[in-house]
Amino acid sequence: MRILFVGDVVGKTGRTAITDHLPGMIRDWSLDLVIVNGENSAGGFGITEAIYQELLDAGADAITLGNHAWNQKEALVFIERAPRLIRPLNFPRHSPGRGSALIDTKNGKRALVINAIGRVFMEPSSNDPFAAIERELEACPLREGADAIVLDFHAEATSEKQGIGFFCDGRVSLVVGTHTHVPTADHQVLSGGTAYMSDAGMTGDYDSVIGMQKEEPLQRFLTGIPSGRFEPAAGVATLSGIAVETDDATGLAVKIAPVRAGGRLEPAVPAFWT
pLDDT grade for 123, boundaries at 50, 70 and 90: confident
Q: Is 8 annotated as a binding residue?
A: yes
Q: What is the pLDDT of residue 21?
A: 98
94 within domain boundaries: yes
Q: Does the pLDDT of residue 274 top 80, yes or no?
A: no
**Beta-bridge mates of residue 174:** 150, 195
Rounded CA-CA distance 30/32 in Å is: 6
Q: What is the pLDDT of residue 240?
A: 98
Average the pLDDT over 212-238 and give the result: 96
Residues across the chain: 274
Q: Is 94 annotated as a binding residue?
A: no
Q: Is 187 annotated as a binding residue?
A: no
Given the residues 21, 68, 94, 187, the one annotated as active site: 68
What confidence tens digit (pLDDT) does each residue in 14-32 have? Answer: 999 999 999 999 999 999 9
Q: Is 67 annotated as a binding residue?
A: yes
Give the rounded percent of residues in the chain with a pLDDT score beyond 70: 99
Q: What is the pLDDT of residue 57?
A: 98
- Catalytic status, residue 68: yes
Q: What is the pLDDT of residue 272?
A: 86
What confidence tens digit (pLDDT) does each residue in 35-67 have? Answer: 999 999 999 999 999 999 999 999 999 999 999
16 within domain boundaries: yes
Q: Does the pLDDT of residue 140 top 70, yes or no?
A: yes
Average the pLDDT over 94-106 and give the result: 97
Residues 6+ apart with CB under 8 A from 4: 25, 26, 29, 31, 33, 34, 35, 241, 242, 243, 244, 259
Structure letter (DSSP) for residue 204: B
Q: Is 147 annotated as a binding residue?
A: no
214 within domain boundaries: no
226 within domain boundaries: no
46 within domain boundaries: yes
Give the rounded percent of residues in the chain with a pLDDT score beyond 90: 97
264 within domain boundaries: no
Q: Does the pLDDT of residue 124 top 70, yes or no?
A: no
- Kindly give the residue spans of alpha helices, DSSP state H, lying in the chain: 11-29, 49-57, 75-78, 129-139, 158-168, 215-223
Q: Is 115 annotated as a binding residue?
A: no
Average the pLDDT over 178-191 and give the result: 98
Q: pTM surpassing 0.85?
A: yes
pLDDT grade for 125, boundaries at 50, 70 and 90: confident
Q: Does the pLDDT of residue 230 top 90, yes or no?
A: yes
Average the pLDDT over 200-223 and give the result: 97
pLDDT grade for 273, boundaries at 50, 70 and 90: confident
Average the pLDDT over 260-270 and give the result: 96
239 within domain boundaries: yes
In degrees, to the nearest 5, what angle opens at C-alpha 203 toward C-alphas 197 and 204? Answer: 135
Q: Is 181 annotated as a binding residue?
A: yes
Q: What is the pLDDT of residue 247?
A: 97
269 within domain boundaries: no
- Domain hosting residue 66, numbered range: 1-205+235-259
Q: What is the CATH classification number for the domain harbouring 57?
A: 3.60.21.10
Please state the domain count of the chain: 1
What confidence tens digit (pLDDT) does each residue in 63-87 have? Answer: 999 999 999 999 999 999 999 999 9
